[in-house]
Amino acid sequence: NAGVTQTPKFRVLKTGQSMTLLCAQDMNHEYMYWYRQDPGMGLRLIHYSVGEGTTAKGEVPDGYNVSRLKKQNFLLGLESAAPSQTSVYFCASSSLAGTPYEQFFGPGTRLTVL
Amino acid sequence: SQQGEEDPQALSIQEGENATMNCSYKTSINNLQWYRQNSGRGLVHLILIRSNEREKHSGRLRVTLDTSKKSSSLLITASRAADTASYFCATALSGTYKYIFGTGTRLKVLA
């Protein structure tokens, strides 16, 4: 099992450009999450999904959109990137089975917006 | 901010010593979790303690939870250089999956 994978690993954007980050999990987990991590701020929840076709806002959703068209994939979109969105983005998934609430994290995407 | 607070922000100890880090949170919770993050990597789940538990052990890890004070502590006994990492607590608002992570404690274990 690959677990949780994220694409791309690094990206540099110019202000105003758009991009999509892809998260994929092969553990058949129901729940998926997108976080951003800034220095000294820990992780902050952007959006999350409790199942295919459903999404919900987290703590810092502004400037981001998400979609969960397939159970194994969770996409994070930036329509018009801003320097304030420079961060490391982590995707995570969890399941109701096994150990509920335990989140499995991907390796992260480092995004720089110039 | 809804984020929890952890202290200390940074901790440096010698191999073999114990490391204690604390987490405070602001809301009612179902459970509290601790995660480890090695530099440049994703987080790894360490241990979960439910709101009706006061103490839990897993190998060299000991977690306590005081819901009246909205605080938790993580103790790593007989630390090793490989324990060098950042440690985060995480809670979810009761009845939700909106997770809130603490600001983290950076632990450095010197060989």
Please state, in angstroms and rounded to a whole number, the distance separating the CA atoms of residues A80 and A66: 14
Output the pLDDT for position B6.
84
Is the CB of B42 less than 8 angstroms away from the CB of A108? yes
**Cα dist from B98 to A33, A56, A62, B69, whole Å:** 9, 9, 16, 21
Is the CB of B101 less than 8 angstroms away from the CB of A59? no
Output the pLDDT for position A17.
97
Output the pLDDT for position B1.
43
Tell me whether strands B10-14 and B105-110 are parallel, antiparallel or unpaired. Answer: parallel
Average pLDDT over residues A76-81: 96
CA distance A110 to chain B (A): 10
CA distance A80 to chain B (A): 25
Please state, in angstroms and rounded to a whole number, the distance separating the CA atoms of residues A40 and A61: 19
The model's confidence at residue A99, banded by pLDDT at 50, 70 and 90, is low
CA distance A30 to chain B (A): 12
Please state, in angstroms and rounded to a whole number, the distance separating the CA atoms of residues A52 and A72: 8
Which residues of chain B make contact with A107, given a CB cutoff of 8 A?
Answer: 41-42
The model's confidence at residue B2, banded by pLDDT at 50, 70 and 90, is very low
Whether B54 has a pLDDT exceeding 90, the answer reads yes
Q: Is the peptide bond before A83 cis (omega within 30 degrees of 0)?
A: no
The model's confidence at residue A100, banded by pLDDT at 50, 70 and 90, is low
The model's confidence at residue B49, banded by pLDDT at 50, 70 and 90, is very high
Q: How many CB atoms lie within 10 A of CB A26?
A: 12
- B28-41 tens-digit pLDDT: 888 899 999 998 88
Mean pLDDT of all residues in chain A?
Answer: 93
Tell me whether strands B43-50 and B29-37 are parallel, antiparallel or unpaired. Answer: antiparallel
Whether A98 has a pLDDT exceeding 90, the answer reads no
Q: How many CB atoms lie within 10 A of CB A51?
A: 11
Q: Could you say which of A31, A56, A107 has the minimum Cβ distance to residue B41?
A: A107
Whether A15 has a pLDDT exceeding 90, the answer reads yes
Please state, in angstroms and rounded to a whole number, the distance separating the CA atoms of residues A110 and B99: 21
Range ranked top by mean pLDDT from A19-28, A99-108, B96-105: A19-28
Output the pLDDT for position B92.
82
Q: What is the 3-state secondary structure (H, E, C) of A15-72?
A: CCCCEEEEEEECCCCCEEEEEEEECCCEEEEEEEEEECCEEEECCCCCCCEEECCCCC
Q: What angle do CA A109, A113, B3 make, to 5 degrees?
A: 60
A107 touches chain B (CB under 8 A): yes
Please state, in angstroms and rounded to a whole number, the distance separating the CA atoms of residues A26 and A113: 30
Q: Residue B78 has what DSSP assignment?
A: S
Least confident of A18-22, A78-82, A99-103, B22-26: A99-103
- B58-75 tens-digit pLDDT: 999 999 999 999 999 999
Tokens of A82: 């801003």
Residues 23-42, chain A, touching B (beta carbon < 8 A): 31, 33, 35, 40-42
- A32-43 tens-digit pLDDT: 999 999 987 789
Residues 55-84, chain B, touching A (beta carbon < 8 A): none
B34 touches chain A (CB under 8 A): no
